[in-house]
Copies of this chain bind each other. A is one copy, B any other.
């Protein structure tokens, strides 16, 4: 299947680069819920998402986690680029939320291709750019918005990304991802239900109107 997906997901890459990726990259599979990388880990490669879906979290020393953004097929983990290049520990945690297939590009090729392939260079830079903007928008939310707005935004993102109005998740997990507590999330969800924005089910939230 890799033979078909790489040109499809990365059509801007030169044929030769697509071939190299297939030759040098190592395909890996992760089951849903499996961690692709842990906070504190070193990188030896950068990762391109082939299919599935990945969520990126920030963690602090006390184990609090905090959802930042999604990575979709055709995207790369900007942090793995940062860390691989600087030989630094990972500052983030990545988790598969569907069964996910990635291709890992060893650091040395990543560097080599930067000079060799214009399209790779462009890809790396535009990856930084888009993640940069995600981070800014994340900062906006936690700096300027209340938990109610953040919850709505979270649900909206989930809805758009997963393309479904029925979100299969429990309140505790949402609380973790927003670095809040279950009771608070439960209360806010209840309020949203009263406003007709969602309908609550066990282990699921149905989006009505956001």
Q: What is A's interface to B at a CB cutoff of 8 Å? A: 58, 60, 62, 64, 66, 68, 78-79, 81-82, 85-86, 91-92, 114-115, 118, 121, 124-125, 128-129, 131-133, 135-136, 138-140, 142-144, 179
Q: How far is the CA of A131 from the CA of B125 in the complex (A)?
A: 13
Q: How far is the CA of A125 from the CA of B85 in the complex (A)?
A: 10
Q: Is the CB of B60 within 8 A of A144?
A: yes
Q: How far is the CA of A142 from the CA of B141 in the complex (A)?
A: 10
Interface of A is mostly: helix
Chain B positions within 8 Å of A179 at CB level = 143-144
Chain B positions within 8 Å of A115 at CB level = 118, 121
Chain B positions within 8 Å of A139 at CB level = 58, 66, 68, 135, 138-139, 142
Chain B positions within 8 Å of A140 at CB level = 58, 60
Query: How far apart are A22's CB and chain B's nearest CB, in angstroms?
Result: 24
Please name the residue on chain B nearest to A140 by beta carbon: B60
Q: How far is the CA of A125 from the CA of B129 in the complex (A)?
A: 10
Known: A118-B115, A144-B64, A144-B66. A132 touches B58 (CB 8 A): no
